Structure 1
Amino acid sequence: MDTGSSVTWVTCVASPFQAGDYSYLKSTTFMRVTCADPDCVPYGAYCAYPDDECPFTLKYISSGLINGIFVKDTLTFSENLRVPSMMFGCGFPADAPIGEDFTGTGVMGLSNHPVYSMATQFGSVFSYCIGNMHDPSYGYNTLILNEGLLLGNSTPILNIISKNYVNLKSITVRGEVLDINPIIFDRDISHVGTIMDSVSAKTLLADDAYNALRDKLKQIMAPVSAEAMCFYNLQPTQVPEVQFIFEQGAKLSLGMEALFSPGQSTPNVQCFNGVKPTSVTLEELLVRNLTLIGINAQQFHNIGYDYTTGRMYISKTDCDDLPL
């Protein structure tokens, strides 16, 4: 699922990366989407002729390009829940679309868009709860469409070009507010702003915020590798609570699992999840004042979106305790 994009796509049968089960040529409810279709307008620049199939191209931070075509078909979730004539992408990625660990066969776009977004097909209200991302046996991760669980304090969101922007006001460590000018989190003519994103694993912090948080954690924790911020056999009790405080009081509380990730070849070594935007090679992100809050930072929280009121709800919780 991706709150940073409105496009839903699946890998199709001919995908060189990982062939999916979907073959639109075998579907009895499939409808072709051409460049002349009004819904193809945002992608019309890639069209040569009106009768061409409507193309799409997506770029995730940690991946190469994903190319494909748009189609319309009926999406079936259960016997009583179907979305007819849903426009989605039939993708042909050559490599893992979202980092090397990606093993899925598509992405559900949950940003706000009247045509492409899965969220808007279900009333523009949804929620998800993410538990331990590093435990493959964790069975309580939850996505609720149509109604959603809107729990905890809320903060305004602004949707621009399929990105959900929020107003991050401060970062605290053990309750101490870090010395960061909050203007670097704002979206204006000179700043990119703060984006909530569920498809990116790591969190990008504007350079000044990254430096302040890294330096404070180094001061408290004394890592074995100061540059990479890595620790041997790190325990939750060794990690101070970090909070991201948003406008009107909503907050994310980050512990060890949210701030650090184990190495693939050295699982007993935990390294800091934060990344500077200037270390990301994606051309449009080569700016100092971008903050993107990834899914690792959202662990052990229920996140609710209400696009009808323009608000996001945050509640720290164990996903197995949700009032379902």
Structure 2
Amino acid sequence: MSNGKTIDKRALAENPETTQARLATLSRNKDCTIRLAVAQNPSTSPKTLTELTDDHETRVFVGVSAGGNDMERDKIESAALLNPNIPVEVLSRVAREAPTLGVFHRLDAVAQNPNTPAAALTHLWAAASSGYAFESSGLHVALLESLAGNPSNTPEQLAVKAVEHKDHRNIMGPLAENPSTPAGALRFIMASMPPATVPKHEDAIAWFRQRTDAVVYVARNKGLPQEIVEEVLSHPNHHARVCLARNEGLSAETLDRLADDALPPIRTEVALNPNTGIHTLTKLASDTHERTAKRARKRLEAMSAAA
């Protein structure tokens, strides 16, 4: 019976239609999975989320007996800090906490939240580079990766970081995919990003390099400036063009051009891209490659049924 009540409460905590008052009550439940669901719910109020950013203090305040271990409580705090309703002031305040291992999960969540102000991100860039505890554990690289992918960074900041971290693939990759990275920095990344470690089997080397080249990361960027799109379109790395065809940030005009690519996998990805226009899909519906034609016809049928 008790288990059934817990499941019902968890379902309420997960439901975005649950009232903010009810979610506030559930946020004080001793079951950590229920508190986690509240922290992840897009309807949870800023006030409740703020309380959940220090889950241990919340439980002490309401007199709830210990519920969940440190790792589970870390998940709750991280989820609250990643929630789009968390107040910007809270994100800015947490960003200035001393960089120790005990707060890494909090700083990393703030680094990932796209609503974090650029000034707070600047502070975190410095913390990731200077926090001894992070460097000694290797966690500073994980924090830098999260920061590199955040679109709230200014373009100027991202351009500087591309130069500072040009020897680190793990950081250059997220920078390449960040929609706020300017064209000049994207060109720098394509020219400077270190190659990935090549597999031992010689037969796999060419295949592996095609898929790990810097231009592939750039092709995934949903905010690509048109001048960079043009460079990727003419790039000899066909896997980069496959990734470009999958990119949901592309215009219908660019997708129409990709629909004329000589490689069938690229044309198939164009047929699957939600931004591809009816004119292009109609053209692909009679493609000589059956899989491409089938995908295009299926999209056309779905669009016709929805009209």
Bigger strand share:
1
TM class by smaller structure: under 0.3
Between the two structures, name the one with larger relative contact order (CA 8 Å, sep ≥ 6).
1
Q: Per residue, is there more helix in 1 or in 2?
A: 2
Structure with larger Rg: 2
TM-score by structure 1 length? 0.24
TM-score of the aligned structures, taking structure 2 as reference length: 0.24
